[in-house]
Amino acid sequence: AQKITQTQPGMFVQEKEAVTLDCTYDTSDPSYGLFWYKQPSSGEMIFLIYQGSYDQQNATEGRYSLNFQKARKSANLVISASQLGDSAMYFCAMRPDSGGYQKVTFGTGTKLQVIP
């Protein structure tokens, strides 16, 4: 069975500062993908970034980067230069490369608030 743990229910960050959102996972699958989604107060789920378990480099997408530590089973999201529009819920998710999409597992989310 898979499990995603996001231990920070809520976080504050000052505008223009960097922030790290934690995500740890547990799986017995040898190959898997990790995703981060953003959910603003308007409710939609927005895909942010993906990391494959065999990718040699940490993923980056603009101000988002993923600090992937495979041995520690962690996939933390780093947001650099926070903006007010980054205030949202953030969800970490994992999908094994075998078995299909029905095995996507989501964490419970972290609510990030950016302070002016």
- Residue where the block lists tokens 């898979």: 2
Site membership for another protein, residue 52 (CB under 8 A) = yes
Length reported for the chain: 116
| Contact flag: residue 109 with another protein (CB under 8 A) | yes
Among 44, 56, 57, 72, binds another protein (CB under 8 A): 44
The verdict on 1 binding another protein (CB under 8 A) reads: no
Q: Is 70 in the site for another protein (CB under 8 A)?
A: no
Determine if 64 is a binding residue for another protein (CB under 8 A). no
Scan for tokens 């980067």, then name that residue: 65
Tally Cβ neighbours within 10 Å of residue 92: 27
**Binds another protein by CB under 8 A, chosen from 25, 68, 90, 91:** 91
| Interface size with another protein, residues (CB under 8 A) | 25
Q: How far is CA 85 from CA 23, 62, 81, 98, in A?
A: 21, 15, 11, 36
Which listed residue (47, 60, 69, 70) binds another protein by CB under 8 A?
47
CB neighbour burial string for 33-58, b if at least 16 within 10 angstroms, e if fewer: bbbbbbeeeeeeeeebbebebeeeee
Q: Which residues would be at the binding site for another protein (CB under 8 A)? A: 4, 33, 35, 37, 42-47, 49-50, 52, 59, 91, 93, 97, 100-102, 104, 106-109
